[in-house]
Amino acid sequence: MRNPVIRHALAAALVLAFAGNIASARDDEYQRLADRIDRLAADPILGQRATAQFDRARASLAEFKEAGRRSREQLVYVVERRIDTAQATAEAEYLESQRVELQRENDRLQLAIARRDAAQARAELERQRLQSQIRAEEAERLAREAEAARLEGEQAAQAADAARAEAAQAKRMAAAQAKAAALAKKEAELEAAISGKAPPKGDAAAKPKAKPAAKPAAKPKKTPGASGK
């Protein structure tokens, strides 16, 4: 071991072994970080989002691959945080897109509800209009029937008045005829009493007395001694 050559060879071997271990550890860490970035990039939901943050994480990973031992731990931390930032940003963008889509869906539903309510309101308005029209037509029909009934009642009342007037007129005529007959009879009785004749019987007294026939005019008497010669 006291041979300098051997000591230098052993030292070189240790340095190479240590460097190899460092390189292997760095390669493992690099691969782990690269795999994490690749998994996120391959995610169907997150892979197409937060592209700027993923590019920064890849740039930091490439810087880590070329870095020396002293800055390796710091760069691992930087790469980890940028990957976390890229993932959180992608998830936030996804949630925001979901929120926007849900808001749009809600707007579409609200629009559909508003259109349905408007259609129902128009249908209700049309139904009310038809009902109002039907009620108006029914009221008009009832008014016509009432007017016809009123006119019919007036005509019936007028007919009754006419019948009563006709009956009264007939009664007055009968009374007048009876009075005329009584007066004629009385006149016949008075004439009979004056002339000493018996009054006519039955309906004969009721008949007006016939006037005596006119006597022919007397011929003028001839004056004695008067001659036509």
Quick: pLDDT tens for 5-41: 555 555 544 444 444 444 555 688 899 999 999 999 8
Rounded CA gap, 21 and 72, in Å? 14
Per-residue pLDDT, 18: 41
Whether 9 contacts 56, CB under 8 Å:
no
Backbone angles phi, psi at 46, to 5 degrees: -95, -20
Q: Which residue has the higher pLDDT, 98 or 71?
A: 98
Per-residue pLDDT, 117: 95
Backbone angles phi, psi at 215, to 5 degrees: -75, 145
Task: Output the CA–CA distances (angstroms, integers) from residue 113 to 49, 102, 103, 109, 119, in the order listed.
Answer: 34, 16, 15, 6, 10
163-202 pLDDT tens trace: 989 899 998 989 989 988 998 888 888 888 888 766 555 5
Q: How far apart are the first and last CA of the chain?
A: 238
Per-residue pLDDT, 127: 94
Q: 1 falls in which pLDDT band (50, 70, 90)?
A: very low
When pLDDT is averaged across residues 138-162 and rounded to a whole number, the result is: 92
